[in-house]
Structure 1
Amino acid sequence: HLTGGVLLAATEARLDWLRGVVAKGRYLGIELEEISPNEAAELMPLLDPKQFVGAVRNKEDGHLDPSGVTHAYAKAARKLGAEVERFTKVEDIVRRPDGLWRVITNKGEVVAEHVVNAGGLWAREVGRMVGLELPVLAMEHMYLITEDMPEVAAWNAKTGTEIIHAVDFDGELYLRQERGGMLMGTYEKANKPWSEYQTPWNFGHELLEPDIDRIAPSLEVGFRHFPAFQNTGIKQIINGPFTFAPDGNPLVGPVRGLPGFWVACGVMAGFSQGGGVGLALSNWMIEGDPGADIWAMDVARYGDWATMAYTNTKVRENYSRRFSIRFPNEELPAGRPLKTTPVYDLLSAKGAQWGVAYGLEVPLWYAPEGVKDEFSWRRSSDFTQVAKEVATVRDGVGLSEISSFAKYKVTGERAAAWLDRMLACKLPKPGRMTLAPMLKQDGRLIGDFTLANLGEDGWFLAGSGIAEQYHMRWFEKHLPDDGSVRIEALGAKLTGLSIAGPKARDVLAKATRSDVSNAAFSFMAIGRMDIGMAPCLVGRVSYTGDLGYEIWVAPEYQRAAYQALMAAGEEFGIGLFGS
């Protein structure tokens, strides 16, 4: 049913967001058009144009019969040689010594090279069969179906077409025609998880008990924005569960440490996302690459910090904000702070405004007393303060907390040869560092690291913190089988600080007894030295591009190192800057 649709804006901020959607559509080849509220009302006769400030039209919007399409997919798969076994319960999944998987069902056993967990509501249970706890939670979701509406019948008779879809973001509603009436659904603020810890195996997609009081505030907005609903009855309220990951995106891809085991779950918008998920997985299995940048869906974006309680908190936040605007640089508060470094309280006292990277709190910028970030599509209140931080580093010296970088230790008799094959760079000599891109077989960049040769202590790598699981999955896939190379993600075992700016050497020289002159400690040098009383690993490099140093220190010494640097930097006007 290609009815077309309208996306509605009741505020100027939402209209700005919709203009961004139009721009993205232009890039992706999707025809979208900004229209006025009156033009929207001509296309969707149930809405009150006085409630809106603008709209966007999508001529390709529509809906389908989910049961019919599912059976059509199955029929097409059978034609291509697939076997579809209905009413077959998977009871266990066991990896054989040869790397293949035994899928044990109530009808027998299947041996497979690849197993995809597309368990939907049961994704957690399937994951637990292989020792995997997936960050997935089901939420109750309600929509109502009205009695037949004369306005719908009149439009159908007049145009010979269905009423087009509508999404009312500010009302947190979506609407489409359902037979002679309308369907209205909402993502209510007072949301409710379903079966938080495990999904019953005997659940057969039965409907749940509706609770109209939970969705009443959204319905009040809907009846105001679409007045015809005030004069019709409700025929049925549907309540059923569907699954989400903490950020609302699917969980897709190979699972680290389980070769041949894949996930395709948390796909809350099955028909709009399912085709892309299937294509990415098939490309990945056959070609070794999903065929596009799907990082936002990659299961590797979560680590063991995404516990059941964290997932519950973040999924509820995401569900309640399904139609809310997230402005540039806006950080969402649920489930935070979770992971912090030893200087978290010291930086908070200095006005740190926190973001999060791979579960870890990261200082983004520092707000003076009385300054609060106000988010918008224009310059937010942090702009002036960030400019001051930039000037501090450019003209003097600044300190930043950099524990959010991923840190790795590589050792073993063949470590050098392995790194030489994995990284597109010349290996540095002992006591030296280099920039180290990592490429796939086709030459595409998949990682950008700083590589340090620590001599007898092995090798040290620093890279993108959010990609730690992604990179460890790649590293482990390419490790030799004989144990001659070992790699460890150091995570919270190592914290970091960075000082940068033309006075950075002056600060470091005052904080340590080591010789940090340019002759003794030149650009891209690395070595161990004490900063104050704290033993540290210091490299002469900075991500700001200024004279600077990255300082790696065990967490029990980070406060001491921070305090020593701030004390040494006082006479040089040291300031804090964010990431």
Structure 2
Amino acid sequence: MKTQVKALVVGGGAVGTSIAYHLAKAGWDDVMLLERDELTSGSTWHAAGLLPLFNMSYATTHIHKYSVDFYKQLEEETGLNAGFAVVGNLRMAQTQERMDEYMLYASTAETCDVSYEWLTPDQIKERWPLINTEDLKGAIYHTEDGYINPADVTQAMAKGARQRGVMIERKWQADAFHWNGEAWEVTCSKMLEKGGNLVPSDEQVVITAEHVVTASGNHAQRTAKMLGIKFPAIPVEHQFIVMDQDPSLVEFRKNGGVEHPVVRDADAQSYVREERGGWILGVYEKGAPAVFEHGVPDSFRADLFPLDLERIEEQYMAMIHRVPSCEESGLKDDFNGPICYTPDGNPLVGPAPGLRNMWLAEGFSFGITAAGGTGYYLAQMMVDGEAEIDMASLDPKRYSQNWMTTEFAARKNEECYNHVYVLHHPDEEREACRPLRTAPAYDRQKARGAQFGWVNGWERPNYYGPLDAPDSFDHDSRSFRRGAWWQYAVEEAKAIREGVGLIDATAFTKHVVKGPGATAFLDWFTCNKLPRVGRINLTYALTSHGTTRTEYTIVRQAENEYYCVSAGAWTEYDADFLRKAAEDKLDEFGYIEIQDVTTQWGVFAIAGPKSRDVLNAVIKDADPTTALSNKRFPWLSARQIELGMCPVNAIRVAYTGELGWELHHPMEMQNYLFDLLEEAGKPHGMKLVGARAQNWLRQEKSYRAFGTELGRDATPLEADLPRFVDLEKDFHGKAKLVETGVRVKCCTVLIDGPDDADPWGREALYTEDGTRVGRLTSGGYSVHFGKSIGMCYVPSELAVEGTKLRVKIQDKLWDAVVTCDSPYDPKNEVIRKDG
């Protein structure tokens, strides 16, 4: 057994074998895979093997599509048939709202080259007469996917990996990980059979690996403890049953009927597929419990739990309704096994928080579908430094080490499981484990009608609904069109454009970077000029490929002290990158101190033509009438001021594009400041404003947002932000930024869309002649222009004011036109207003 390798993959399921295969294919010739038992002995062996392309996530759709395409060519390469039945995937809808969901998904699918067809109930019945269609509205049908044998595809990838030089060692368990400063030393024990259990023997080896990948499936919590970190990958019970032969199905096939596609009855929380003349029924029911919260018992191997038929009785009866001929079929077999989940259903793929060269591939609830693509894109990240798509939405650091717990993960994973077939509105907010992280003003905001969203655990107002609304108002008002919340957001956006509004931005990520090396480090770390003391600047930290890794607003508080503000959803993601970069440059730049002060400072953003009037009423200054004037407090500057008894680090900037300030204040004084501002705002009609209105307003100013317009698949130059890139200096990622050039360009479009809907920011874009040319990254409604608005990436030659495009909304193409950058107040006269 080799004891020194380039990369060690821990876990021999479908995901682990795919990663080993793709690392070898990408050129690493010293790769080893360890499996504590036999290949496929974890969740892989009892997976149903479905390959659904349906997904609302851009990155995950790419991953699934790669898997489907990859599995089709495995037999040619390895000689092993992976058992891929390309029967298609029929996803049915019982309601118009479900069809609305499919229409939004379909537009997203087009941007990833995933094909589909629309079928009416009559067309479904004509092709598959055993299906009861009387209560259906229609269906979306994918012809390219179907189902596969999980064990066979895993063995095929394993053979392909061996053919490329990968060493696969079975019955070896990783027991400890130690980073020696240059590589990982992994202590491994030989596993022995004893009384039906697997137990570690006294035989041990230490494998030294430059890189380690963990793909430990249900054993994720054991892996996390060995690494000294936390990640929310905890299994949930998943049940499916195999039925005896259905005589009607046997007769249908005997008479030339083609095999049924995988039939997904989303409104009945179930899927059905053929199995040797009978049917398999799989369900995603309520009440399925999380298991192995603290680790898998040594006695649990390729085992199952007892079937709980009462828990799935409703779904079983729904299947009989959907396929009446199955009613007389008996139960042939049943499966109730652990499937790992995460709170949002996306796996954890990427660098482990705080660790060097440790890569996670954990929490795969759809592991067979995702295995091929995960191996492909993770190998790109490891070998090339970045993947060709933005993988941030799968990054393990989206769940912070500071607040994520076992209880949180278990309860959210149970919720995620029973939400698999729940309608996934774009404005979806899930209720489990909330509220968890609340700023002091939470109760005051809730009392004023706040309907909250979830951002990195924080409760943040999305909008303010009716004061007499029950807590369920937000849930009841969601829609794929303009929900009941829409008019409230319109009024909030108008308040900022016409008067004054107050936004809670406490969730912002905040870091202090200081020390003798801080200035030299940040100058190299970011692509824009650093601001002078007392001033601010917008800048970007880039990846090694020159794409956008993080967006920062940097306030220079002293010669070598900086206050860095970034997106609230990405606190640990930003902190990890910042700290590792500083450590790498310690010898070059000297001592740098980095403090995460996110929970120390609350933030209120006040904006609108009357915002100065509100602040003038409470500011304590020798001359309060001029304290906030352009002369004493110019645009893009920062000052320490006093509002009543509250010390405030005020920044003159506004994400809404109006006259305004961000008021960074001590968290413990937030309620005092809220009350003070609310009282001062009454004479001016100040309105509390949520994140949805703010999102619309920033699009009117063409302000790019990290996670939508800004990400690891486009450079700041492609985001059309050359004014924030100083090519006269050296900075991380500069060479690749210049080499990449401008492949596509970001621009803003105004849309003559439907009367009852706006884009959400995932729709396909076309030219007038029907050529698909890009996709929206953001969408919403413009109160200034009275029509839909969006931001997008298109070829550079189309990103020109006046270019006519078309955007697909609700399966129809609507006229759109490229507008100028910052179509509202393009000269920034409003935001610079003096007083």
Range that drifts further, 103-112 or 343-352: 103-112
Instruction: Provide closer, same or farther for how the CA distance between residues 195 and 256 of structure 1 changes in structure 2, counting only shifts above 3 A.
Output: closer
> What's 1:435 paired with?
538
Is the CA contact 1:145–1:234 (under 8 Å) kept in the aligned structure 2? yes
Aligned-pair distance for 1:456? 5.4
Fraction of identical pairs, as percent: 32
Write out per-residue CA displacement over residues 99-139 of structure 1, whole angstroms, 9 at most, x where no aligned residue: 43334333412100111110001011012111012211111
Does residue 315 (structure 1) correspond to residue 413 (structure 2)? The answer is yes
> What's 1:556 paired with?
668
> What's 1:540 paired with?
652
> What's 1:295 paired with?
392
Aligned-pair distance for 1:533? 0.5
What TM-score results when the alignment is normalised by the length of structure 2? Answer: 0.68
Is the CA contact 2:385–2:545 (under 8 Å) kept in the aligned structure 1? no
Does residue 385 (structure 1) correspond to residue 492 (structure 2)? The answer is no
Instruction: Provide closer, same or farther for how the CA distance between residues 456 and 5 of structure 1 changes in structure 2, counting only shifts above 3 A.
Output: closer
1:211 to 308, 317, 322: 308
One-letter code aligned to 2:371: G
One-letter code aligned to 1:333: E
Q: Secondary structure at the match of 2:579?
A: helix
Write out per-residue CA displacement over residues 255-278 of structure 1, whole angstroms, 9 at most, x where no aligned residue: 121101111011121221011111
1:481 to 571, 586, 593: 586
Q: Secondary structure at the match of 2:377?
A: helix
Does residue 58 (structure 1) correspond to residue 142 (structure 2)? The answer is yes
Q: Secondary structure at the match of 1:502?
A: coil
2:463 to 347, 365, 377: 365
Is the CA contact 1:512–1:530 (under 8 Å) kept in the aligned structure 2? yes
CA distance in 2, matches of 1:328, 1:25: 15
> What's 1:566 paired with?
678
Write out per-residue CA displacement over residues 261-313 of structure 1, whole angstroms, 9 at most, x where no aligned residue: 11101112122101111112111111111221122211111103221111111
Q: Where do 1:259-408 residues align within 5 Å?
A: 259-304=356-401, 305-371=403-469, 372-373=473-474, 374-408=477-511
Range that drifts further, 154-163 or 361-370: 154-163
Is the CA contact 2:101–2:425 (under 8 Å) kept in the aligned structure 1? no
CA distance in 1, matches of 2:89, 2:665: 55
Q: Secondary structure at the match of 1:133?
A: coil
Aligned-pair distance for 1:457? 7.3
> What's 2:174 paired with?
90
Is the CA contact 1:256–1:472 (under 8 Å) kept in the aligned structure 2? no
Range that drifts further, 350-359 or 291-300: 291-300
One-letter code aligned to 1:405: F
RMSD: 1.6
Does residue 243 (structure 1) correspond to residue 346 (structure 2)? The answer is no
CA distance in 2, matches of 1:260, 1:438: 20
Does residue 459 (structure 1) correspond to residue 548 (structure 2)? The answer is no
Is the CA contact 1:44–1:164 (under 8 Å) kept in the aligned structure 2? no
Aligned-pair distance for 1:318? 1.1
Aligned-pair distance for 1:548? 0.4
CA distance in 1, matches of 2:417, 2:128: 27
Specify every segment of 5 or more residues in structure 1 that has no aligned partner in the other structure, as ranges.
Answer: none
Is the CA contact 2:175–2:186 (under 8 Å) kept in the aligned structure 1? no
Range that drifts further, 337-346 or 433-442: 433-442
Does residue 505 (structure 1) correspond to residue 612 (structure 2)? The answer is yes
Is the CA contact 1:141–1:187 (under 8 Å) kept in the aligned structure 2? yes
> What's 1:492 paired with?
599
2:126 to 21, 24, 42: 42
2:260 to 146, 163, 166: 163
Q: Secondary structure at the match of 1:159?
A: coil
CA distance in 1, matches of 2:570, 2:304: 39
CA distance in 2, matches of 1:132, 1:43: 52
CA distance in 2, matches of 1:520, 1:391: 29
One-letter code aligned to 2:225: R
Write out per-residue CA displacement over residues 33-88 of structure 1, whole angstroms, 9 at most, x where no aligned residue: 00111211233333101131111222112212211211111111111111000111
Write out per-residue CA displacement over residues 430-465 of structure 1, whole angstroms, 9 at most, x where no aligned residue: 111111122223321222221111015710111101
Specify every segment of 5 or more residues in structure 2 that has no aligned partner in the other structure, as ranges.
Answer: 1-84, 191-203, 622-626, 692-835
1:68 to 134, 147, 152: 152
Is the CA contact 2:229–2:353 (under 8 Å) kept in the aligned structure 1? no
Is the CA contact 2:221–2:293 (under 8 Å) kept in the aligned structure 1? no
1:26 to 101, 110, 117: 110
Is the CA contact 1:22–1:33 (under 8 Å) kept in the aligned structure 2? no
